[in-house]
Amino acid sequence: MKDNAARESGPDLIRSIACFFVVGAHFYLNMGYYDVPMAGPKMFVMTACRWMFVTAVPLFFMLTGYFKKNKKADRSHYIALVPLVIAYVVISVAKMILYNRLYGTIYGVKEIFQNLGNYQIAWYMGLYLCVFLLIPFLNKGWYALDVKEQNILLGTLAFLCTVYPVFNYIAPSYFIGIYPVLFYFLGITVRDRKWKANRFILLAVLAVTLCVEASISMFFTSTGQFDWNLISTADGTYGTFFISVCTICIFLALYDVKIKNRFICAVLSSISSVSFEIYLFAGAYDALIYRYLKQIVNGPVEAFWWFFATVPASFICAYLSSVIFRFFESKIPLK
């Protein structure tokens, strides 16, 4: 999802971390984290990490703004969508065939077309597609404003997107779904204004915020299990206040990092260039890995240490598959 501009190690690092966060978040869903009591030190650590992992989506949108701020409504912009659509269709169909093999027939031909159309097999594709189509017009609107108006717009979007549900009686939930626009504009702002902040302070704020989120999730749940409507919502989690703070801290701490080691830069660049494919492939490897892990352990707490084996394994397999897929996709003439 990144333009062929000069490589910057900081954004590549952020994108690689965000990819890992996506795979890490899948651990919770696959191992039943949301169905067990929120108690104990392991659950506290897992909950803090869970909140950190969900920053992946807003980080991706900040990167989109960072790199696509100059895009216009021309052929070059829209043609860039074609490889994403090809990857989405091919990999999603392959995943549905795999799921049929693992779990019995779930997807017939009709269901395959339905799930491709409603993005149930890869929900982020539908969200990114909508933002992608708006990018040229978001850019035009943003640069039609002066700096003061841009600041007011950011403040307005932050109010509309992040305050609910922390203060649901002050800011209704009508507009929390437009959080991608907030993070897109934040990405542009960081690129244009080159915001600087003390990394130690940013990481300290990040750590404190994650602990606060974990504490609220653990000790104020009304059900004893993870409560989706406590400091978040099932559909609007990514734009809520605490997630926004964490996202901004991570982005500002890393976007201008200069990595001099060529090997590390090459690895990060390679991961970054296939980030979308990693997201698509990871679900398939998760299905394989956690199908067998659940036969060995009985839940997320028991599988606590397995995280450090299963998540890297899924990530590496998804990455290697993405590189191979991109190689063959590159042979298709798209211009």
Nearest to 231 by CA among 219, 218, 210, 216: 216
Give first-to-last CA distance, the chain, whole Å.
17
Burial class, 80, CB count within 10 angstroms (exposed 0-12 / middle 13-18 / buried 19+): middle
Mapped to the 3 state alphabet, what secondary structure does the chain carry?
Answer: CCCCCCCCHHHHHHHHHHHHHHHHHHHHHHCCHHHCCCCCHHHHHHHHHHHHHCCHHHHHHHHHHHHHCCCCCCHHHHHCHHHHHHHHHHHHHHHHHHHHHHHCCCCCHHHHHHHHHHCCCCHHHHHHHHHHHHHHHHHHHHHCCCHHHHHHHHHHHHHHHHCCCCCCCCCCHHHHHHHHHHHHHHHHHHHHHCCCCCHHHHHHHHHHHHHHHHHHHHHCCCCCCCCCCCCCCCCCHHHCHHHHHHHHHHHHHHCCCCCCCHHHHHHHHHHHHCHHHHHHHHHHHHHHHHHHHCCCCCCCCCCHHHHHHHHHHHHHHHHHHHHHHHHHHCCCCCC
Distance CA 107, CA 97 (A): 8
The per-residue pLDDT for 335 is 57
Beta strands in the chain (DSSP E): none
Tokens 């860039």, located at residue: 80
* Structure tokens belonging to residue 47: 């909950």
Distance CA 278, CA 275 (A): 5
The DSSP code sequence of 196-217 is ---HHHHHHHHHHHHHHHHHHH
Distance CA 283, CA 92 (A): 10
User: How far, in whole angstroms, is CA 70 from its chain's centroid?
Assistant: 23
Q: Hey, what amino acid is at 257?
A: V
The per-residue pLDDT for 106 is 86
Q: Helical H runs in 294-306?
A: none
How many of the other CB atoms lie within 10 Å of CB of 43? 21
pLDDT tens-digit profile, the chain (335 residues): 444 345 789 999 999 999 999 999 999 999 999 999 999 999 999 999 999 999 999 999 999 999 999 999 999 999 999 999 999 999 999 999 999 998 887 889 999 999 999 998 999 999 999 999 999 999 999 999 999 999 999 999 999 888 886 777 787 788 888 999 999 999 999 999 999 889 999 999 999 999 999 999 999 988 899 998 888 876 667 888 999 999 999 999 999 999 999 999 999 999 999 999 999 999 999 999 999 999 999 899 999 999 999 999 999 999 999 999 999 888 777 65
Backbone φ/ψ region at 32: left (φ over 0), alpha (ψ -120 to 50), beta? left
User: How far, in whole angstroms, is CA 147 from its chain's centroid?
Assistant: 28
Distance CA 221, CA 272 (A): 37
User: How far, in whole angstroms, is CA 186 from its chain's centroid?
Assistant: 16
Single pTM value for the model: 0.94
123-143 and 81-103 are packed helices; what angle lies between their axes, rounded to 10 degrees? 160
